[in-house]
Amino acid sequence: MALFSQTSQQGFQALLWKCRMFWPISRCQQLFAVSFSIPNREKVSYFSFMTSSSTALPVDPKRTNDFPTERSKIDSEEKKRWNEETKEISEEKLHVSSVLSPKKQLLSHIVKRHRFTNVQPPENPLQSEEWNRLRESFSSPEIFEDVMLNSMVRCNSPIDVAKSLLTHVAKSHGDVAYSLLVKYLALCVQQGKTSEILDVYDIMKVRFKILESGAYNLLIRGLSNSDQWRMALTLLEEVKKVMVPSRTNYESCIKAASRHQEMNLAFELYHEMLDKDFAPTLDVLQAFFDFSRGMKDAELQKELFGMLFYLRDNQIYPHKTFMRSIKLWFE
């Protein structure tokens, strides 16, 4: 379950002892000992992850995260060119919802520019020297890692390839940016790698008091589609304490509960979602009809007829697969 491959164990050990902050023996020690395959010590150093979002709050508020001044020229040139463009460039598969400073917005836009959409990630894991050569040959090396991970998500690259890049970043910079962790998380969710999803979550919650909504969306979606689906419910409750959960959060949990025949729980979440003025999608309504098929409970039938009346009253027309689900439920 280690997040990064064991081939770089010696590099990680040297790097960890160079970090400036230490934690006493705790859950953090156990986590990093497992994640980086290092022996237990009385004090274990950890990566001081950077955050690209003001809603992801680091444990240590004294740490700052400013961009190097030499990037200002790049930023100003990019901004000038963007003002001349009227066509909006579509985003990659991954969208991390966050409130960014102007410089970080500028960097985020660069990552999504059209000229980087054809970048092809390597097919196999690389060593640090190989990643360095690729970075140096890249037209904008300061955003190489972001662009490469976006491409890995788009191309559905093997997890080991992404791990080798994060290992290289950790060895080179002494930390892993929050934005890179979220992109790696998106790849894990896309491939249904439950153990990796849990590892990333453990690392992020150690370093940050609060995650931003994009990370929570990925975690809840990934876990709700796994055998750890009840943990998605726990995360939903965690989200409620710091922000308003999104419709996606609710629907992921509703589908998970329905899939496991927990219909009372599913309807409880459904009504909670409606109370927050979220209109249900046809997919979540279809899930109720799919997974309650054959059940004779009167209250359940009342709920499902209520959904049909909702569709009728709002002149919403089910798509073909949804219509088939309704037909089979009646039959």
Range with top average pLDDT, 61-70, 105-114, 160-169, 296-305:
160-169
32 in Cβ contact with 38 (< 8 Å) = yes
Confidence of residue 49 (pLDDT cuts 50, 70, 90): very low
Instruction: State the pLDDT at residue 1.
Output: 47
For 109-166, what is each residue's pLDDT tens digit? Answer: 554 555 666 778 999 999 999 999 999 988 888 889 999 999 999 999 999 999 999 9
Residue from 290, 286, 278, 283 nearest 308 by CA = 286
Percentage of the chain lying above the pLDDT 90 cut: 51
Confidence of residue 288 (pLDDT cuts 50, 70, 90): very high
- Which of the two residues, 66 and 128, has the higher pLDDT score? 128
Stated pTM of the model: 0.66
pLDDT for 243 beyond 50 = yes
- Separation between Cα atoms, residue 219 and residue 152, nearest integer Å: 18
In DSSP terms, 44 is beta-bridged to 23
- Separation between Cα atoms, residue 174 and residue 20, nearest integer Å: 10
Q: Where are the domains of the chain?
A: 116-209
Q: How far apart are the first and last CA of the chain?
A: 46
CA distances from 1 to 154, 241, 319 (A): 24, 29, 41
- Separation between Cα atoms, residue 124 and residue 164, nearest integer Å: 9
Give the chain's mean pLDDT: 75
- Separation between Cα atoms, residue 276 and residue 248, nearest integer Å: 13
For 68-92, what is each residue's pLDDT tens digit? Answer: 444 444 455 554 444 544 333 334 3
**H or E segment at 269?**
helix 263-275
Instruction: State the pLDDT at residue 298.
Output: 86
In DSSP terms, 270 is beta-bridged to none
Instruction: State the pLDDT at residue 297.
Output: 83
